[in-house]
Amino acid sequence: MADKPVVWITRKLSDATEARASRDYETLLNPEDRVFSSDEIIAMSDKVDAILPCHSEHFSSDVVARLSPRVKIIANHSVGVDHCDLEALGAKGIVVTNTPDVLSDATAEIALLLMLAAARRAYEGDRIVRTGEWTSWSPAFMVGTQMTGKKLGIVGMGRVGQAFAKMVSGFGMEIHYYNRKPLPQEQAGGAIYHDTVEDLLPHCQFVSLHCPATPETTDLMNAKRLALLPDGAILVNTARGALIDEAALIDALKSGKLAAAGLDVFKTEPGGNPELSKLDNVFMLPHIGSATRETRDAMGFRALDNIDAFFAGREPKDRLV
């Protein structure tokens, strides 16, 4: 059709996503998969009607103020939108959407991997074998923590938290959770509700974070809250790095307050924290919670569904502002 809207896909997405976008829109792609600066985002906004970004593109109030009025919708390729100043975007009249639902299972799988790996000292064991340090064995060698029958605390019982709770149910874990409000019993699946994080933590030998990053949740797991956990607890984070005070986490891991941690997200991304990298009792991944072929296709298609709806004059399913 004539005069197709121009859609800018800021990062290299799945082949299926890019093929669909190119079929339906005039599409600007990023085959080199480079990260654009704020000034480049602003300059590109003069050329496009829609932006399909990832969490690597930051729409701060300053950037939003300088965006071209041509941009009508920002359809995020993510669930989290902490990289977007929603208030500023709403005030400018730009529609913002995200991609819920489709990445819950993939992210929950990574949380399970992190929890098992942290509990059973996977990084340390892998390093010992790879470096030729595995020269003996005894019943006292590489003893870790068993998950089966333990108490798990889930902070944030949304889609991912609920998917994770279902996955770990086979381990016979007693599940506790904190959420802004209790879930209906059929959704909670027997999990025990706590109305504050402070009340939750003393019960939990394992804790998994699944809440969004907001000003209220920044450094949610700080020294004071880490101290509430039982000695030898294990902390997992697949949500956002902003949720953990990393200096306090390092202190807790060094002191033995925490036995281990499993992390897929960090304060600084990409890169992580060099001080965490020095510790054997941390199992780390480079923010790959949703990185499966199936989920990447589903995320891209969900973002395009929102763009399709907007330009067809319909309300986007996942509109945030």
Question: What domains can be seen in the chain, in order of their start residue?
Answer: 6-102+293-311 (3.40.50.720), 104-284 (3.40.50.720)
Instruction: Give the pair of three-digit tokens for residue 210.
Output: 């699944």
pTM score: 0.94
Can the peptide bond before residue 202 be classed as cis, meaning omega within 30 degrees of 0?
no
Predicted pLDDT at 109: 98
Catalytic residue among 87, 198, 269, 315: 269
Sheet with 174-178, strands from edge to edge, namely: 192-194, 174-178, 151-155, 206-209, 233-237, 258-263, 282-284
Q: Collapse the DSSP code of 83 into the 3-class scheme (helix H, G, I; strand E, B; otherwise coil) and give the result.
A: coil
Contact 136, 113 (CB under 8 A): no
Active site residue 240: yes
Burial of 180 (0-12, 13-18, 19+ CB in 10 A): exposed
Active site residue 130: no
Catalytic residue among 55, 287, 296, 302: 287
Euclidean distance between the first and the last CA atom of the chain, given in angstroms as a whole number: 29
Active site residue 287: yes
Closest CA to 255 of 238, 278, 231, 283: 231
Alpha helices, H only, the chain: 15-24, 38-44, 61-66, 86-91, 104-119, 122-130, 159-168, 185-188, 197-200, 223-226, 246-255, 274-277, 293-311
User: Per residue of the chain (321 residues), what is the pLDDT tens digit?
Assistant: 458 999 999 999 999 999 999 999 999 999 999 999 999 999 999 999 999 999 999 999 999 999 999 999 999 999 999 999 999 999 999 999 999 999 999 999 999 999 999 999 999 999 999 999 999 999 999 999 999 999 999 999 999 999 999 999 999 999 999 999 999 999 999 999 999 999 999 999 999 999 999 999 999 999 999 999 999 999 999 999 999 999 999 999 999 999 999 999 999 999 999 999 999 999 999 999 999 999 999 999 999 999 999 999 999 999 999
Catalytic residue among 176, 240, 296, 302: 240
